[in-house]
Amino acid sequence: MNIITTLKILYYISIFIWLFPPIRQWKTKYFYFFLILAVADPLSIALKLLIKKNILLYFPFVSLILLLSIIDYKTYIKKKYQLLISLILILLAFIFMQSKLLVVVFQFLIAFVFIKEFVIRFVFDRVVSIFYIILIFYEFTIVFKYFNIFLGFADATAFFIITSIFQIAFGLFFSIFREDKTSIALKRG
């Protein structure tokens, strides 16, 4: 089996696996996040077939929607100026940044939100959430994939295969475990 076939197989397995997390995450805090992840790649394939060219702002737009899906709006509504400044910065980012760099920025912000949630649960609830640890690792695999595109710090094909295998494993994890179940959290001593 050649490398192109291997990449295609991994890609389609990943798409298939990521259809299940939204089902498992139904009625949880991150349902929409997982739903967007589930439809993003199939929709990109459909758009490429219909338009027959690459859509440069598709993945930055998906990353932005992912970020918006995890933001706690109750906090931001109280801080109207921060919300306005955030929206202006997002608009400026769309105007001035390269599309791949924009994905990195949004995915890093998503990882930051998950890190914040992890720390809050750890400090206030005295719980180490395995769910958030896996979610943070998942986000950093995406960030590292794009950094590798920019910096070329690893063999692109090998790095893509390794991170794709990890992302499939992450998809399986999120198909089984939910954020709101304490059975995947450990109490501090």
Q: What is the pLDDT of residue 32?
A: 94
Task: Say which amino acid occupies 89.
Answer: L
The answer on pLDDT for 68 being more than 90 is no
The answer on pLDDT for 98 being more than 80 is no
Percentage of the chain beyond pLDDT 70 is 79
CB 160 within 8 A of CB 145: yes
- CA-to-CA distance for 156 and 29, rounded, in angstroms? 34
Which of 2-16, 67-81, 128-142 is predicted least confidently? 67-81
Mean pLDDT value across residues 155-166:
82
DSSP-derived secondary structure for 9-55 = HHHHHHHHHTTSHHHHTTTSTTHHHHHHHHHHHHHHHHHHHHH-S--
Q: What is the pLDDT of residue 4?
A: 79
Rounded to 5°, the CA angle 131-134-137 comes to 150
49-55: list long-range contacts, CB under 8 Å, 24+ apart: none
Tell if the pTM clears 0.85, that is, is over it. Answer: no
Task: Say which amino acid occupies 140.
Answer: F
Q: What is the pLDDT of residue 184?
A: 55
CB 168 within 8 A of CB 13: yes
- List all residues 6 or more positions away from 146 whose beta carbon is below 8 Å from its beta carbon: 100, 101, 103, 104, 107
pLDDT band at 47 (very low <50, low <70, confident <90, very high): confident
The answer on pLDDT for 182 being more than 70 is no
From the DSSP assignment, how many helices (H) and strands (E) are in the chain?
A: 9, 2
Enter the DSSP assignment of 154: S
Q: What is the pLDDT of residue 123?
A: 86
The answer on pLDDT for 38 being more than 60 is yes
- CA-to-CA distance for 45 and 8, rounded, in angstroms? 12
CB 103 within 8 A of CB 63: yes
What is the per-residue pLDDT across 100-156, written as a single tens digit (0 to 9) for each? 778 888 899 999 999 999 999 888 888 888 899 999 999 999 888 877 777 776 677
